[in-house]
Chain A
Amino acid sequence: AQSVAQPEDQVNVAEGNPLTVKCTYSVSGNPYLFWYVQYPNRGLQFLLKYITGDNLVKGSYGFEAEFNKSQTSFHLKKPSALVSDSALYFCAVRDYPGYNKLIFGAGTRLAVHP
């Protein structure tokens, strides 16, 4: 069965510093991977996806993610964090053969301090 794991419940980073939110996956077949962000009292906002192609995926709001097949990881990164990036981040994998069924990680709360 497909699964993703987010090993950190919370990540703290100072504004202006680079940030990384970790995600590892377990799939049968080729992985379709996603990152979403959730702000308080809001739904999920799509950040980026990896389907195939370049291992470095660029997304919205300056975020990018690196797909690493050997380490089965898909970490979310940003070169310079903003206080406004503070939110809950979810990694997800498409279930197979699940059409649009996504399996989500538990989420990582990112806190960016001024």
Chain B
Amino acid sequence: EPEVTQTPSHQVTQMGQEVILRCVPISNHLYFYWYRQILGQKVEFLVSFYNNEISEKSEIFDDQFSVERPDGSNFTLKIRSTKLEDSAMYFCASSEGWWEGTEAFFGQGTRLTVV
């Protein structure tokens, strides 16, 4: 069964450093998402991406964050100048479409720890 894959599974970084989280969405999907889950809290939407541009972003997704689809398969989230409060699980998801009934397939997540 096709799946969304994320690398690395766990990343530790020093405060102030830049990190890039990588995702390979399901190959025939057109819509890509990043979500964040701070430990013990709910999953929060960060950004959606379609046709090589951001289609929607939340208040959390400020200038510190950026997304890119550098080639035909990868979808990346870059976090510049990381802060302690960026420590969280980051999930990538993809879907065939954006309509309300479309299932979003999630990757296994990248646990980011900022020290």
| A and B: interacting chains | no
- Residues of A participating in the B interface, judged by any CB pair closer than 8 Å: none
